């Protein structure tokens, strides 16, 4: 069965589990900086790591919304959407 994605809802991207998954990945990547040899761990350093994770999440989500809007615009003017072929077993 072939399925075509014609429109992606911006609200479905923003209000799904996607932002939480992006935040957790950004948080893990921020806390990997703790293993840096010149890291002094204090409350300010931990708060800066969390702020970097929030900043990275917001930047990624804004970029994702921009690309979703561009995809919807291209799909609206007639360019074919993404085709996915599903197989039944």
pLDDT tens digits, residue range 30-65? 888 878 777 778 888 889 889 999 999 999 999 999
d(CA 63, CA 24): 17
| CA-only gyration radius of the chain, Å | 19
Tokens of 78: 């007639």
Higher-confidence position of 73 and 45: 73
In this prediction the pTM is 0.77
* 3-state class (DSSP) for residue 25: helix
d(CA 70, CA 67): 5
SS3 breakdown of the chain: % helix, strand, coil, rounded to 5?
65, 10, 25
């Amino acid at each position: 069965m072939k399925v075509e994605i014609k429109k992606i809802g911006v609200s479905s991207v923003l209000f799904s589990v996607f932002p939480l998954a992006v935040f957790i990945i950004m948080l893990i990547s921020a806390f990997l900086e703790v293993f840096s040899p010149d890291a002094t761990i204090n409350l300010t350093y931990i708060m800066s790591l969390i702020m970097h994770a929030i900043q990275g999440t917001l930047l990624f989500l804004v970029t994702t919304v921009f690309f979703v809007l561009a995809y919807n615009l291209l799909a609206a003017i007639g360019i074919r959407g993404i085709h996915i072929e599903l197989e039944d077993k």
